[in-house]
């Protein structure tokens, strides 16, 4: 028995009791708390990015709570049981790791990933792209779709033609800006972003992550501008663009 088994059973019992005895918990549905599940997942990722291990411990607990909460609600409604959730994922892990639980041999992690995609198709999926949620942030969804297509052989051999594709899409977007309709501009900008995500993937970069980092840099630098102006008793609306550009460069030097 795993040393955490008793703690797990205690948590399951607590969640079940809350559903019976707490008015707020009892009133919830899958739909009413689904956004909280996404929020907890993002908070977990943020703790990992910050290497906040104490925070990660807490966030994993919150995430597990939501998994159990949905499972208990489903069990109450006769849709499926918590045991089915646990047995389903256990069976899937065994089935998709024949190199561990069977006699298959693999050369390394890349072959494991290729086999994983082939096994999913063998289980009845009609497309290698199934399983990429539509609700993912767009850059991350593009990265995951490209990654999955690559695992079944639909990919460039190296980065050079991918960069040429970026240049091609940039030219098409520039043409659409000059002479195209708003619909053309939307389509070409989308194609350009998709191509950039693909090139980033060839550099082992995740476009979603690097854009989030750029967002953070922008926020820190802009807040620096606001703080410096506040020290002078002014706001950005009262400053000139030249003044703010100077403070921006100052923030870049000081904050990175």
Query: CA dist 81 to 29, 30, 85, 88, 140, Å?
Result: 16, 14, 7, 10, 31
Go through the domains of the chain in sequence order and give each one's CATH number: 5-94 (1.10.287.1080), 138-205 (1.10.287.1080), 209-255 (no CATH)
Confidence at 118, pLDDT banded by 50, 70, 90: confident
pLDDT of residue 52: 96
Residues 2-47 have pLDDT tens digits of 888 999 999 999 999 999 999 999 999 999 999 899 899 999 999 9
Residues 43-79 have pLDDT tens digits of 999 999 899 999 999 999 999 999 999 999 999 999 9
Confidence at 105, pLDDT banded by 50, 70, 90: confident
| Alpha carbons within 13 A on the beta-carbon side of 3 | 0
Average pLDDT over residues 89-100: 90
Confidence at 254, pLDDT banded by 50, 70, 90: very high
Query: CA dist 220 to 48, 49, 223, 234, Å?
Result: 20, 17, 5, 19
* Residue reference for tokens 């980065």: 159
Residue 105 region by backbone torsions, left for phi larger than 0, else alpha for psi between -120 and 50, else beta: beta
Cβ 66 vs Cβ 37: under 8 Å: yes
Name the more confident of 121 and 182: 182
CA atoms of 83 and 112, how far apart (whole Å): 28
Question: Is residue 119 scored above 80 in pLDDT?
Answer: no
* Own/partner pairs, 246-255, CB within 8 angstroms, 24+ separation: 248/221, 248/222, 250/224, 251/220, 251/221, 251/224, 251/225, 252/221, 254/224, 255/217, 255/220, 255/221, 255/224
Supply the pTM of this predicted model. Answer: 0.68
Q: Which of 152, 147, 249 lies closest to 207 in space, CA to CA? A: 147
Confidence at 104, pLDDT banded by 50, 70, 90: confident
Cβ 207 vs Cβ 200: under 8 Å: yes
Q: Which of 232, 209, 56, 42 lies closest to 142 in space, CA to CA? A: 209
- Sign (positive/negative) of CA torsion 98, 100, 105, 108? positive
Under 8 Å CB-to-CB from 32, ≥6 apart: which residues?
Answer: none
Residues 39-52 have pLDDT tens digits of 999 999 999 989 99
């Amino acid at each position: 028995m795993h040393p955490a088994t008793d703690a797990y059973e205690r948590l399951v019992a607590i969640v079940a009791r809350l559903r019976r005895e707490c008015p707020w918990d009892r009133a919830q549905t899958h739909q009413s708390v689904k956004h909280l599940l996404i929020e907890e997942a993002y908070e977990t990722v943020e703790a990992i990015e910050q290497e906040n291990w104490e925070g990660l411990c807490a966030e994993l607990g919150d995430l597990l709570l939501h998994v159990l909460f949905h499972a208990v609600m489903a069990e109450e409604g006769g849709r499926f049981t918590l045991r089915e959730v646990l047995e389903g994922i256990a069976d899937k892990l065994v089935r998709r790791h024949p190199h561990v639980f069977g006699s298959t041999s693999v050369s390394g992690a890349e072959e494991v990933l290729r086999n994983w995609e082939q096994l999913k198709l063998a289980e009845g999926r009609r497309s290698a792209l199934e399983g990429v949620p539509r609700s993912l942030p767009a850059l991350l969804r593009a990265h995951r779709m490209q990654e999955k297509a690559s695992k079944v052989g639909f990919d460039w051999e190296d980065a050079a033609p991918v960069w040429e594709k970026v240049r091609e899409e940039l030219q098409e977007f520039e043409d659409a800006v000059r002479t195209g309709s708003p619909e053309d501009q939307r389509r070409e900008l989308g194609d350009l972003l998709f191509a950039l995500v693909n090139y980033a993937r060839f550099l082992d970069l995740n476009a979603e992550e690097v854009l989030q980092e750029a967002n953070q840099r922008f926020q820190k630098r802009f807040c620096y501008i606001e703080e410096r102006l506040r020290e002078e008793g002014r706001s950005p609306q009262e400053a000139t663009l030249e003044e703010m550009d100077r403070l921006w460069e100052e923030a870049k030097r000081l904050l990175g």
